[in-house]
């Protein structure tokens, strides 16, 4: 999910960029040198995994997975997502330079929020953990879609309908991301729990 180049007004993408820079600075500060390899290689995995398309009826959606990234990396989700988006721009040119900041913010801020909201809950018993991870996947995409819609409305009041459409169109993605996150976190807890940030 991202905003293309040239859509947003100056104040919106500049503010977004500034906030993303703050988030990235916090993330870098919290990430010591021993963890760079871990964050970097998980960012590569996030890059690859977000290219996966999942069938839904006759169509397919691609996963966002920022919820899981939040659970694994905490604040380091900011630099990780910034780097992944930069590489996406370099490889595919879906985006350029000016929207990089706001797109990082749109993906990474919900990841950090969901980390704080649901991180403690996934340590609980099976059922609560499962529900919390579903919520983590669902709400991280929802927050992203709402932020994206907000950025559009701040650019142009007339974009209200479009913003609403964006949020609605992402509803299936929220559900799929929720389901995938729920099973994925359960899997990670069994197989390699130290990968989740709170578990170390």
Partner 1 sequence: MTLDGIFNVMIYEPFAFGRSWVHSLDPRFRVVFATVYSFTVALLNQFPSLLFALAFSLVLALMARLNVRDVSKRLFVVFLFLLLIWVVLPFTFEGEAVYSFGTLAITKPGLVFSAQITIKSISILLAFMATIATMTTVTLGRALNRLHIPGKLVHLLMITYRYIFVIEQEYQRLWTAIKIRGFRPKTNLHSYKTYAYLIGMLFVRASIRAERVSQAMRCRGFKGRFYSLGSFPPSSRNWVFSALMASVISLLIILEIS
Contacting partner 1 within 82-111 (CB under 8 A): 82-84, 86-87, 89-94, 96-98
- Nearer Cβ to partner 1 (31/122): 31
Q: Which of residues 179-198 bind partner 1 (CB under 8 A)?
A: 179-184, 187-188, 191-192, 194-195
- Nearer Cβ to partner 1 (36/128): 36
Q: How far is the CB of 169 from partner 1 (least distance, A)?
A: 11
Say how many residues touch partner 1, by CB under 8 A.
73
Distance CA 167, CA 129 (A): 26
Q: Per CB under 8 A, does 52 bind partner 1?
A: yes
Work out which of 18, 22, 48, 171 binds partner 1, going by CB under 8 A. 48
Q: Per CB under 8 A, does 30 bind partner 1?
A: no
Cα 64 to Cα 118, 145, 174: the distances in Å are: 17, 11, 9
Q: Which of residues 129-158 bind partner 1 (CB under 8 A)?
A: 156, 158
Q: How far is the CB of 121 from partner 1 (least distance, A)?
A: 18
Work out which of 1, 16, 20, 39 binds partner 1, going by CB under 8 A. 39
Q: Which of residues 160-179 bind partner 1 (CB under 8 A)?
A: 161-162, 165, 176, 179
Distance CA 74, CA 187 (A): 19
Work out which of 1, 72, 106, 174 binds partner 1, going by CB under 8 A. 72
Q: Which of residues 9-28 bind partner 1 (CB under 8 A)?
A: 10, 13, 24-25, 28
């Amino acid at each position: 999910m991202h905003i293309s180049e040239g859509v947003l007004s100056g104040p919106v993408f500049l503010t977004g960029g500034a906030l993303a820079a703050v988030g990235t600075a916090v993330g870098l500060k919290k990430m010591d040198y021993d963890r760079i390899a871990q964050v970097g290689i998980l960012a590569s995995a996030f890059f690859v995994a977000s290219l996966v398309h999942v069938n839904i009826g006759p169509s397919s959606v691609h996963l966002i997975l920022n919820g899981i990234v939040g659970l694994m990396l905490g604040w380091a989700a900011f630099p990780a997502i910034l780097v992944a988006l930069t590489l996406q721009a370099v490889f595919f040119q879906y985006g350029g330079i000016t929207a990089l900041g706001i797109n990082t913010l749109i993906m990474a801020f919900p990841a950090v929020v969901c980390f704080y909201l649901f991180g403690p809950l996934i340590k609980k018993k099976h059922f609560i953990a499962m529900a919390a991870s579903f919520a983590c996947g669902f709400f991280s995409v929802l927050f992203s879609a709402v932020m994206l819609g907000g950025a559009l409305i701040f650019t142009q009041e007339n974009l209200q309908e479009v913003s609403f459409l964006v949020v609605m169109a992402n509803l299936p993605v929220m559900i799929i991301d929720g389901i995938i996150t729920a099973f994925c976190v359960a899997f990670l807890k069994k197989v390699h729990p130290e990968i989740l940030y709170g578990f170390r």
